[in-house]
Structures are given as C-alpha cells and as structure tokens.
Structure 1
Amino acid sequence: MSLFSEGELALMGKAEFAFPGALRDQLVAAILDGSKTSTTGLVVDYEHEGEALPEVGSRAVVVDSQDRPVGVIEVTEIRVVPLAEVDLAHAIDEGEGDTTVAGWRANHESFWHSPEMRDAMDDPDFTVADGTLAVLERFRLIADLRPGS
C-alpha cells in the first residue's frame, strides 16, 4: 500500500531518468535498491524544456521505461556548478559504478552528446564543456510504488 493517494501522486511532478530503455531501467533499479541517491541535469536542458530547477523538499514520481510509477523521491539538496566542479562523492552517489570523476564525466558526456539528447535539445551539434552549468541533485526514496512493496 502506497503512502500516497492517487490524487497526491497525480499532483507530483514526474521524475524521468535518461530516455526510456536499458539506461532508464538501470537507473530506476538503482534508485529502488538505494544505490542511486544523486543525479545530474543541465541548466540548459531545464531552460530548453521551460522547467524550473528542482527545489529542496520537492517530491516527484519516478517512472520506468513503460511510464509506470515505481517510486517517489524527495529532493534533499540542489547545487548548480560548472561541470568541471562535479566532485567524486556526487559521481559515486549516482550509483552508476563510476569510481572517478573522469569516468563519470566520460559516461555522462556520452549521454549528453548522444543523438537522443541532441534531438531532445533541438541541436544536432549540442555539446557540453567544463563551464556548462550542471544541476547536482541529491534525493532520497520515500516510497516504493511497485506492487507488493
């Protein structure tokens, strides 16, 4: 049984990690097992989508690749920093197996420079650099919405 009614869930924003597919499934599984407690977005992506940056205390419904609600997270910290200033603790807490900032950066640049991201940004040449502003978000899982949880 969920801590939240369907009405309460409907009022929360949706937390979509990556694009639907294998990477989203991996990230959602890491959130649900507790190994992923941080994520990184780009200020330019929020601006492109016309979305406000997340705020501490805000809650969102995590969805899987089939757009099913599987959890609720609550933001515990937000920092906006240039990509060059992302620290190792944040990289490790993303729960993707990175053990160095350089490895984290390479994996994230691969995503940000992907055809899917460039398409989403409406910019076939979209790239990030050391000065690109990143939104470092920490969160905690407050509800597992999967049946039987």
Structure 2
Amino acid sequence: MRALELGTPGGLREELNSLVLAGRKTATTGLLAEYVEETEGLEFVGERLALLDDDGRAVATVEITGVDLTSFAEVTWEHAAAEGEGDASLEDWRAGHRRFWEREGTPVRDGTALVCLTFRVVQAA
C-alpha cells in the first residue's frame, strides 16, 4: 500500500491528519512536478493509501474518491473547501497555498499544474 503524507513534518502534518480523522478534510492538493520528480504515478479512484504521521506510522487508511489534474488558477472552491483548513474563500486558499509552496522552494503561478485528490477514511488506525 502506498502512503499519503500531508503537509510537512511537525505541527502542520499533525494538524492536517487530525482534520482528516475528524472528517473535516476530504481533499488535498499536490504539485504535478513533485510526482514527476519522484517518478511516482498518480493515485487512482479506489486506491487505498496509508495516511502517515511524522514517524511513518499509519494513522488511517484512506480511499481515493477523485483525481483531477488542473492548474492553480482553475482549482474550484468546492475542492478548496473540502481541504477543510478553514479558508473563508478561494482567494484565502490560493494565498495560503502560494505561501506554503514558496516556503518549500516552489513558487506557483496561475498555470502551475496541480493534482487535486479527494478521499474518504475507510479505517482509523
């Protein structure tokens, strides 16, 4: 089973995992370039992934319910809201994600290719 590691290690990952386990976070977004760099294939609908904590332990099993390739500018409010991180608007979501990726060394533009995943928890660890 492949793994899903949300955010970056530390407080962010812990917070995001808590949102998933509480049922508030049912989506996430990644950079397509990272899939290419890591030579990792895209997730597929029905695939089950181990949701990992900072120590590599599974905290849940999630099942992918949707995979959408899109650009940064075309992410929908429906997807952004499903990320469950408390953004009040699509503009807030965009600003927060731009800051996150810039801190990680990958500034995004409107045309930056993204992978938008939706999922559901099938089993908590």
Taking structure 2 as the reference length, the TM-score comes to 0.96
Identity %: 40
How many residues are matched? 125
Deviations 1:71-123 (A, max 9, x none): 00000011111110111111111010012111001111111111xx22xxxxx
Task: Look up the SS of the partner of 2:17 in the other structure.
Answer: helix
| Offset at residue 53 of structure 1 (A) | 1.0
Question: Could you tell me how far apart the structure 1 residues matched to 2:56 and 2:98 are?
Answer: 25
Query: For 1:27-106, what aligned pairs fall within 5 Å after superposition?
Result: 27-106=16-95
Amino acid of the residue matched to residue 111 of structure 1? F
The root-mean-square deviation of aligned C-alpha atoms, in Å, is 0.8
Question: Could you tell me how far apart the structure 1 residues matched to 2:117 and 2:42 are?
Answer: 10
The one of 96, 109, 120 equivalent to 1:129 is 109
Structure 2 residue runs without a partner (length 5+): none
Counterpart of 1:121 in structure 2 is none
Amino acid of the residue matched to residue 70 of structure 1? V
| Offset at residue 66 of structure 1 (A) | 2.2
Query: For 1:103-118, what aligned pairs fall within 5 Å after superposition?
Result: 103-114=92-103, 117-118=104-105
Greater strand proportion: 2
Bigger Cα Rg:
1
Amino acid of the residue matched to residue 108 of structure 1? H
Deviating 4+ runs (over 6 angstroms)? none
Structure 1 residue runs without a partner (length 5+): 1-11, 119-125
Question: Could you tell me how far apart the structure 1 residues matched to 2:115 and 2:107 are?
Answer: 16
